[in-house]
Amino acid sequence: MSLEKLFNRNPEEEKRHKPVIEVPDRVEPNKEFRVSIKIGEKPHPFTFNHYISSILVFLEQENRPPLLVLKFEPFPPTIPPRIEFYLYLDRPSRLHVVASCNLHGLWEAEKEIEFT
């Protein structure tokens, strides 16, 4: 089974569920930069009946296996599903984010990061 089939792509739910990755398009090698991730262009609900149960951030680089760099489990569900952290890279990379909603399943987004 392909992992592609696991991700929800319902356009009616996408604006509240698809991760939004805020990071520079180009960074300097080995220099720290900020990464911000929120769930949805519109705010996702965070109640005990409807919430984001986890956010996983993977780093993909050429000739290296994907690396899990962050796992966030916002609990209780009254914590907004938004994270910020700092990262530095030694080569161009791709961030791949997977968010899990307790009602609407898995959602993904990715962002290429090049060097200046």
User: pLDDT tens digit string along 11-46?
Assistant: 889 999 999 999 999 999 999 999 999 999 998 888
**How many other CB atoms sit within 10 Å of the CB of residue 55?**
22
- The domain that holds 21 is classified in CATH as 2.60.40.730
Q: In this structure, which amino acid lies at residue 40? A: G
**9 φ, ψ to 5°?**
-130, 25
State the total domains in the chain.
1
Mean pLDDT of 50-57: 94
- The parent domain of residue 105 ranges over 3-115
